[in-house]
Copies of this chain bind each other. A is one copy, B any other.
Amino acid sequence: MGRWQPDARERLEQAALDLFVEQGFAETTVPQITARAGLTTRTFYRHFADKREVLFGDEEIPVAAARMITEAPTDLPPMTLLTGALEAFAHTRFEHRRADLRRRRDIIRSDEGLTERELRKRAMLSEAARAALSERGLDPTVAALLAEMCVAVMYVSVQAWLDGDDDRPLVEILRSALTALRREFVSAPC
């Protein structure tokens, strides 16, 4: 109990991101990460299955997204529900982490395997949202479309936010993105 560090996970993440940026993802070992963080490899493996999981540790995101959709009031229109879920994610998971998320993105882009893992993760999130929307009684194709669209809005908005050199909050970019999509749909005959 005495030696337990409440911020061990955070320290390991910071040390790993530093090393991935400095010397490359492939070249970085778990002992290097724990040495930098001043922690043991035993502690590392209590938090992460391997070094890749430092980048993709938010495995519970699809579960959290599905729960938000499932637990929302049944009479909420799907787009209202999904907009609320996107904004909640922006606030709780992204807004305060821009610098780290930029480093993470650069590391993922530098490695083919990590890029593929990111695409898999995105597909898993879409699938979780689709299943949860479908369980609310939505038409299966509409559920799939809305899930894909929301995940796309989230990813595109996060990219724009990470690219931006101003301090515009992600939640504002998300809202503009949804408004812009809506405008395109409304202004053209489908």
Interface residues of A in 124-178 (CB under 8 A from B): 139-142, 144-146, 148-149, 152-153, 155-157, 159-160, 173, 175-178
Query: Do residues B190 and A179 form an inter-chain contact, with CB atoms below 8 A?
Result: yes
Q: Closest chain B residue to A186 by CB distance?
A: B186
CB distance from A145 to the nearest CB of B (A): 5
Q: Closest chain B residue to A181 by CB distance?
A: B145
Does A80 reach chain B (CB closer than 8 Å)? yes
Main secondary structure of the interface of A (DSSP, over half): helix
Q: Closest chain B residue to A180 by CB distance?
A: B142
Residues from chain B with Cβ under 8 Å of A152 in the complex:
145, 148-149, 152
CB distance from A66 to the nearest CB of B (A): 18
Number of interface residues of A (CB under 8 A): 41
Chain B CB within 10 A, most for which of A156, A178, A181, A189: A156
Does A88 reach chain B (CB closer than 8 Å)? no
Query: Do residues A186 and B185 form an inter-chain contact, with CB atoms below 8 A?
Result: yes
Q: Besides A79-B190, A145-B177, 8 other CB < 8 A contacts?
A: A77-B188, A79-B185, A119-B123, A141-B177, A145-B152, A145-B153, A149-B149, A182-B190
| Interface residues of A, Cβ cutoff 8 Å to B | 77-80, 83, 116, 119-120, 123, 139-142, 144-146, 148-149, 152-153, 155-157, 159-160, 173, 175-182, 184-190
The 9 closest A-B pairs by CB, nearest first: A79-B188, A148-B152, A77-B188, A119-B119, A178-B190, A144-B156, A182-B185, A80-B188, A141-B160
